[in-house]
Amino acid sequence: MIASHFGIEGFDMARLTVADGWAPQALAFLDMIAYSEIGPALLAASDDGYNVLVGSTPAKPLLFDSYAKHPQILNHALNSTAAGRYQIIRGTWLGVAGELGLKDFSPESQDEAAIELVRSRGAIDPLAEGDIEQAIAVCSKEWASLPGAGYGQHENRMIDLLKAYNAALAKYA
């Protein structure tokens, strides 16, 4: 678990594992994205965010019940189809799932898709070099909750994301 002083008690790790050959830095970065996009309370109130629809709040979680495919549910108020642990919109999902040959929207598929999005944004080298701020910066156009995204939505503070990343990384050591 990530340290409770980050308010993430009960926060689980990505479903992909180091034992399966995934780099600890990549998995910790996924956990940080989930922390940023979903938030600790909603992560705890769901299947660690994997079944969360955009517009959810801890008081009123909007959850889907099948991982067979991206739920493709439009939140009219937000004009978004974002879903899952990484709040991937339908169009992005269709593209990345097609590239990777993903057959469902399972937690493992969501993790693989998110890693591909991180890679396609050019964040793998900064992650490997320990430059987490640069990795966050280049991924900010993919995830609106990251600092500098500029989508007019809530953006988390860099210091909080670095703390979440470092706490997550410790879980994979």
Q: Name the pLDDT band for 6 (thresholds 50, 70, 90).
A: very low
Range of the structural domain that residue 57 is part of: 4-172
Q: Express as a percent the part of the chain with pLDDT over 90.
A: 83
Total domains in the chain come to: 1
CATH at residue 79: 1.10.530.10
Q: Name the pLDDT band for 12 (thresholds 50, 70, 90).
A: low
Annotation says 37 is catalytic: yes
State the average pLDDT for the chain: 91
Q: Which of 37, 112, 142, 155 is catalytic?
A: 37
Does residue 68 register a pLDDT over 50?
A: yes
Q: Name the pLDDT band for 5 (thresholds 50, 70, 90).
A: very low
pLDDT of residue 8: 40
DSSP string, the chain: ---GGGT-TTPPPPSS-GGGT--HHHHHHHHHHHHHHH-HHHHHTTTTTTTBBTT--SSS--B----SS-----BTTTTB--BTTTTB-HHHHHHHHHHHT--S--HHHHHHHHHHHHHHTT-HHHHHTT-HHHHHHHHTTT-TTSTT--SSS----HHHHHHHHHHHHHHH-
Q: Name the pLDDT band for 104 (thresholds 50, 70, 90).
A: very high
